[in-house]
Structure 1
Amino acid sequence: MSDMHHLLIPYAASASEGAQQTLDGLALPHLAALLARLTPDTSRAHWGDENSYSSPAEVALAHSLGLPTQDGRIPWAAWHRAQQGLSADGSAWAFITPCQWQVSTNHVTLGDPAQLALDEVASRALLDIVAPWFAEDGIALTYDQPTRWLAQGAPLQDLATASLERVLCRDVRTWMPQGTDKQATRTLQRLFSEMQMLLYTHAFNDERGSQGLPTVNAFWVHGAGQLPSPPAATTGVPHIEPSLQTLALGEDWRAWAAAWQALDAGPLAQLRQQAEQGRPVRLTLCGDRGVQSFHTVPRSLLQKVQSLFSPQRLKDVRNKL
């Protein structure tokens, strides 16, 4: 269960010019009041760039869960098994998502897997087709969800992978998996090519085409890593606010602004009320470059007075994200 006293907001800001212009004219009174009341937690701050493997929101969540936060090496698949009560047994695990790559002269774009309309029956049938190819390279695949399988094997060890949100509707070549083991990296690169060739003319896709469904011609590997033992969470699991992410990725800044205003009038207003009632709260804001976290701590009278004269604080915070 998520902790309603800790609100984590992915895509709270963006380096995009459209996002910056939108924020310049956006009134968020409850957010501004919260930032004036709360204190920055420098131990939770994180800075990267738009091309890092792990998104700032992933890093912030991993920190709260007590997971490793090294870029691209947050072991989400192994942690998922631990949450199911299954042993990760020290092995390297990863998620494999069947998807569609749209190849053009200058780009290789990953489409949204949700638009493939894969159900469990189709996903399991596809898994049966590709699993033997992975097995030849020491990677065992098992079913988890229609658009996500579990993978286990030595080639996944110490592998930096990017989350789906990092590559969604973008050029995948920026975030191809990279490992310290060059042979493992080459193995995955070959598997990417083999799966494209296998699925290009496969009867599985012929059948989907006859039904007017999108073809599946590739896969994406993400959440790779090892988790020898389940971590002890450092705090409660934060409540993650999802409303800004899809709009920011689609650069629909008008709708993003409306979502921000709804967020300010709803969850942020509630968090502000809790803070004003003296309850401990935490607010974590994530952009596409960094994380800033704020929490309640005892403050001196001078600090309280100074917070009343910080109209630039909100702008300073979002410019860093």
Structure 2
Amino acid sequence: MHLLIPFAGRRTPACQAVLSRLQLPNLDALLTRLAVLHDDTQPDTTLSPPHERALARAFGLEGADGLIPWAAREAQRTGLSRAGSNEPWGVFTLCHWEVAIDEVVLDDPADMAIDEAESQALLEAARPFFQEDGIVLRRSGAPGRWLARGEMFRSLPSASVDRAAGRPISEWAPLTDALKPLRKLQNEMQMLLYTQRVNDERIARGVPPINSFWLSGTGVLGTAPSAAEGPTVDTSLRTPALRDDALAWTAAWQALDAGPVAELLAAYRQGTAVQLTLCGDRSARQFGVQPRGPLGWVKNLLNRTQATTVLASL
């Protein structure tokens, strides 16, 4: 059993402020019994957040920062690409860019509530524009999320949606020479989307229009096959963490502690080999069972680290 928890630690003001008051008895008990197996700590400016790096490691995926080939992996697993084809892919996530006075902010695409009919209608409208640039669009298993094949994505690093959501796009997609072709496509799409009936209907319903897309998951799948199964990923902390909603983040953590974390602790007590990966803005820390003698066990109990201390360090 392996449980991976993104946004377990958050370095935003509100979430940091409530850490000392978090009561997580099951996580405390579990961390006392486990040892650190792997620690990946990098600056919080990486394009690939810690939970994506940890998940890629579990799957055996290779890629530099911003080039973990999530799209290529999905294309191969869904039959859109052949094994060993070396095709470059990316993910286009439909979204809403909120234009402010001095910046443009990427609203969280998870809040867009795009249905399959809207996604497919916009894909068909957009397809010719992308074909002119040698990009082939394909639907994915999630509405509002397209897979795109094109040479542009072979070595173009891209920031995860989980890094950019709720932030100015200039922080995660600065207007560099490498990104100019992408910005051209985004500008063309913005003009196209403005004319679409889908958006007229969304505005009439009082929901944000779809006015752009976010590129992520770029790169090429390596020759080594990726693992079919990875850890169980619990994303319940994601939304409150991105919103820096301390009350909701606290409630989500308490539910996690009483649910999946308690189940992992029970499995450990029954003799199951368990692993837990906690991810924050900078670090992904993997905990697991390591054999140790009686002295090591007593030492660990005497020097136990509170869960909140671990979360604060992520």
TM exceeding 0.5:
yes
- 1:11-66: per-residue Cα shift (whole Å, max 9, x none)? 1111123222212012212111111111111xx32112333211111111111000
Task: Specify which of 25, 38, 53 is matched with residue 59 of structure 1.
Answer: 53
Secondary structure of 2:118's aligned partner? helix
CA distance, structure 2, for counterparts of residue 34 and residue 208 of structure 1: 46
Distance in 2, matches of 1:116 and 1:253, equals 22
Gaps of 5+ in 2: none
Structure 1 equivalent of residue 29 of structure 2:
33
**Paired position in structure 1 for 2:115:** 119
Alignment deviations for residues 164-222 of structure 1 (CA, whole Å, 9 cap, x no partner): 2222222111111799xx5x532112112222233335555345434544322111111
Code of the aligned partner of 1:314: A
How many residue pairs get aligned? The number is 311
In structure 2, what is the equivalent of residue 152 of structure 1?
Answer: 149
Aligned to 2:300: 307
Taking structure 2 as the reference length, the TM-score comes to: 0.90
Q: Distance in 1 between matches of 2:43 and 2:216?
A: 19
Residues 17, 118 of structure 1: CA spacing in aligned structure 2 closer, same or farther, 3 A cutoff? closer
Structure 2 match to 1:186 = 180
CA contact (8 A) 1:10 1:285 kept: yes
Moved more, 72-81 or 116-125: 116-125
Q: 1:223 to 1:36 in 2, by over 3 A?
A: same
Task: Give the fraction of aligned pairs with identical amino acids, expressed as a percent.
Answer: 44
Corresponding letter in the other structure for 2:221: L
Name the Cα RMSD after superposition. Answer: 2.2
CA shift in 2, pair 1:230/1:131, >3 Å: farther
1:134-187 superposed Cα distances (whole Å, 9 cap, x missing partner): 1111111122242011100111111111122222222111111799xx5x5321
Q: For 1:113-262, what aligned pairs fall within 5 Å after superposition?
A: 113-144=109-140, 145-176=142-173, 182=177, 185-202=179-196, 205-210=199-204, 212-229=206-223, 231-233=225-227, 236-262=229-255
Matched, 1:8 2:43: no
What is the TM-score normalised by the length of structure 1? 0.89
Q: Distance in 2 between matches of 1:262 and 1:276?
A: 20
Distance 1:173 1:207, change over 3 A: same
What secondary structure is seen at the aligned counterpart in 1 of 2:219? strand
Gaps in structure 1 of 5+ consecutive residues: none
Going from structure 1 to structure 2, the CA distance change for 1:34 and 1:158 (only over 3 Å counts) comes to same
Letter in 2 for 1:49: P
Deviations along 1:107-136, one digit per CA (max 9) or x if unpaired, are: 211123344443222222212222222111
The answer as to whether partners of 1:114 and 1:147 remain within 8 angstroms in 2 is no
Once residues 244 and 5 of structure 2 are traced to their aligned partners in structure 1, the CA distance between those partners, rounded to angstroms, is 17
Matched with 1:100 is: 96
The verdict on how the C-alpha distance between 1:9 and 1:212 changes in structure 2, with shifts beyond 3 A counting, is closer
Letter in 1 for 2:264: L
CA contact (8 A) 2:90 2:153 kept: yes
